[in-house]
């Protein structure tokens, strides 16, 4: 993907940093709408000067359609193209159907599903016009099959898988691929804090998830679309 332009939402978070770094190492220009300045600083601190020069990072709320459209346009204005999109932004909430407040349902849907809809809508016209593009959405292995106990999260992430599969069919004639990656529990600082006594031996490294994402964005995966790949 050397010289290509990829937008990575959540590209400064734990998984996002691994994905951004993998793409930068492959020579990609990475555009990141971010929310936490400290996370951006942490990402840039681990990069080489050349890699830092290939980052286009601006504050933007990916649940705000106007903000996303503006961000995508700034990337296109600067680089002339957007070749790929990786939707990493998301959130988690526990709770069963009765105990989960409606506001938490709405938050899960907004973070996990609406953000994906908004960003896909923003990049697809350009990809369709170019007859080329790659989209990868991060869902969750925990929702296949659907699980209770964190039902708002389950439904929102399962919806991301369904959206991925339906959208893949819609854009197939335009040479745009859409796939989902389904990580199981990842070894991140947040998960370590949330589950301090858990056995982490089976947790997934963020770098391994990033490798699958990078493959799906590459020319080697040109014939893969509509897949939901567990990691």
Give the integer Cα–Cα distance in Å for 56 and 43.
12
Evaluate whether 107 touches 100 at the Cβ level (below 8 Å): no
Which of the pair, 167 or 203, is modelled with greater confidence?
Answer: 167
Domain ranges within the chain, ordered by starting residue? 5-230
Q: In the block, which residue shows the tokens 């988690």?
A: 92
The helix/strand/coil state of 132 is: coil
Per-residue pLDDT averaged across 202-210, rounded?
93
CB atoms within 10 A of CB 114: 18
- pTM here is 0.95
Tens digits of per-residue pLDDT, 115-124?
999 999 999 9
Tell me the CATH number of domain 5-230, given options 3.40.50.1000, 3.40.50.720, 3.40.50.300, 1.10.8.50: 3.40.50.720
Tens digits of per-residue pLDDT, 132-176?
999 999 999 999 999 889 999 999 999 999 999 999 999 999 999
CB atoms within 10 A of CB 187: 16
Evaluate whether 114 touches 121 at the Cβ level (below 8 Å): no
Q: Which of 153, 157, 171, 229 is catalytic?
A: 153
Annotation marks residue 34 as catalytic: no
Give the integer Cα–Cα distance in Å for 219 and 60.
29
């Amino acid at each position: 993907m050397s010289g290509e332009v990829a937008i990575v939402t959540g590209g400064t978070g734990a998984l996002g940093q691994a994905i951004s770094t993998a793409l930068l190492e492959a020579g990609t220009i990475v555009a990141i709408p971010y929310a936490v300045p400290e996370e951006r600083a942490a990402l840039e601190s681990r990069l080489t000067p050349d890699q830092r020069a290939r980052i286009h990072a601006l504050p933007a709320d990916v649940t705000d359609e106007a903000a996303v459209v503006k961000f995508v346009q700034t990337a296109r204005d600067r680089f002339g193209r957007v070749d790929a999109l990786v939707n990493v932004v998301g959130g988690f909430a526990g709770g069963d159907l009765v105990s989960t407040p409606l506001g938490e349902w709405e938050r899960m849907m907004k973070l996990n599903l609406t953000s994906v809809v908004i960003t896909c809508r923003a990049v697809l016209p350009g990809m369709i016009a170019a007859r080329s593009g790659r989209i990868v959405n991060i869902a969750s292995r925990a929702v296949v099959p659907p699980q209770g106990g964190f039902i708002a999260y389950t439904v929102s992430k399962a919806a991301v898988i369904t959206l991925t599969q339906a959208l893949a069919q819609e854009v197939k004639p335009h040479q745009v691929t859409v796939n989902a990656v389904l990580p199981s529990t990842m070894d991140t600082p947040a998960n370590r804090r949330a589950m301090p006594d858990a056995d982490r031996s089976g947790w997934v490294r963020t770098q391994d998830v990033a490798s699958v994402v990078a493959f799906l964005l590459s020319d080697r995966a040109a014939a893969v679309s509509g897949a939901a790949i567990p990691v």
